[in-house]
C-alpha cells in the first residue's frame, strides 16, 4: 500500500499492478499509474487490450517451443532457414537477441528455463524431450548450445550435450571472450583466460 491516508481503491490497485513488474519500485509504479490515468480513454483501452490479446493469442511453436501467434513461429515456418542447425537457448528473448544480429540462418530450440537444483528446476521441466524428438526425427547437422555463460547455463549445456552423444552430431558452444567495446582492465580473470585460450590468428 503506497498511501494509506489518501486511499482511492482503483488507483491503489493500478499502482499495485505496476509495482509487481520486475524492476519497478513504488515511486515508479505511482508515476506509471498516473501516466496511464492521463491517457485518453481510447489509449487506456488499447493498453488493457494489448495485455489480454497477447495472453489469448500467444502460444509456443510446436517445433521449437518459441513464442508465436500461429501454429509455427516465424523462423520454423520460413523455408529459407537452414533446418539442419538448431541453436538451443533459454527463452524466447534470446531468440529475439539472435534474430537482431541478422547473421544466424538456422533454427532455434527454446528450453523455457535452465537446470537449477537450487530453484527446483529439474531437466524434465525443460523442453529437452522435444529437442531430442526433433533430433531423432529430422536430419540435424549441428546443435549450438547458446545458454548463458552462468553456472546454470553451463550445467544445462553440459547436460544436453551428454544426452546428444549417442546421436553422433556436432554439438558446439558459443565462444567465450572479451565483449566487443569492453575494457580489458575491467574484464574478470576467467573471461580473460577464456579469451586467451580461444585466441585466433590474425
CB 12, min distance to its own copies, A: 9
Residue 25 to residue 1: CA distance in whole angstroms: 12
CB 195, min distance to its own copies, A: 26
CB 100, min distance to its own copies, A: 6
E-strand ranges in 20-155 read: 59-60, 67-68, 85-89, 107-110, 142-145
Q: Which is nearer to its own copies, 114 or 171 (CB)?
A: 114
Residue 199 to residue 1: CA distance in whole angstroms: 54
CB 71, min distance to its own copies, A: 13
Q: Which is nearer to its own copies, 74 or 123 (CB)?
A: 74
Q: Which is nearer to its own copies, 75 or 171 (CB)?
A: 75
CB 44, min distance to its own copies, A: 4
Q: Which is nearer to its own copies, 116 or 161 (CB)?
A: 116
DSSP conformational letter for 64: T
Exposure class string for 25-59: b at 16+ Cβ within 10 A, else e: eeeebbebbeebeeeeeeeeeeeeeeeeeeeeeee
Which stretches of 82-125 are DSSP H helices?
A: 92-101
Q: Which is nearer to its own copies, 73 or 88 (CB)?
A: 73
List residues near its own copies by CB under 8 A.
2-3, 5-11, 13-14, 16-17, 21-24, 28, 30-37, 39, 41, 44-58, 67-69, 73-75, 91-93, 95-96, 99-100, 102
* Assigned C-alpha cell, 182: 569492453
Amino acid at each position: 500500500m503506497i498511501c494509506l491516508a489518501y486511499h482511492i481503491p482503483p488507483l491503489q490497485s493500478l499502482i499495485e499492478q505496476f509495482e509487481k513488474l520486475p524492476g519497478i519500485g513504488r515511486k515508479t509504479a505511482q508515476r506509471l499509474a498516473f501516466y496511464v490515468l492521463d491517457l485518453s480513454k481510447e489509449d487506456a483501452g488499447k493498453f488493457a487490450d494489448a495485455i489480454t490479446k497477447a495472453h489469448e493469442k500467444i502460444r509456443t511453436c510446436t517445433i521449437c517451443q518459441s513464442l508465436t501467434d500461429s501454429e509455427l513461429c516465424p523462423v520454423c515456418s520460413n523455408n529459407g532457414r537452414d533446418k539442419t542447425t538448431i541453436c538451443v537457448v533459454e527463452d524466447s528473448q534470446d531468440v529475439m537477441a539472435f534474430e537482431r544480429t541478422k547473421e544466424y540462418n538456422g533454427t532455434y530450440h527454446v528450453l523455457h528455463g535452465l537446470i537449477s537444483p537450487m530453484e527446483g528446476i529439474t531437466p524434465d521441466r525443460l523442453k529437452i524431450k522435444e529437442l531430442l524428438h526433433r533430433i531423432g526425427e529430422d536430419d540435424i547437422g549441428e546443435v549450438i548450445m547458446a545458454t548463458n555463460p552462468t553456472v546454470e547455463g553451463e550445467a544445462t549445456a553440459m547436460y544436453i550435450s551428454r544426452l546428444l552423444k549417442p546421436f553422433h552430431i556436432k554439438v558446439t558452444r558459443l565462444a567465450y571472450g572479451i565483449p566487443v567495446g569492453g575494457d580489458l582492465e575491467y574484464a574478470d580473470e576467467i573471461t580473460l583466460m577464456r579469451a586467451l585460450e580461444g585466441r585466433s590468428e590474425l
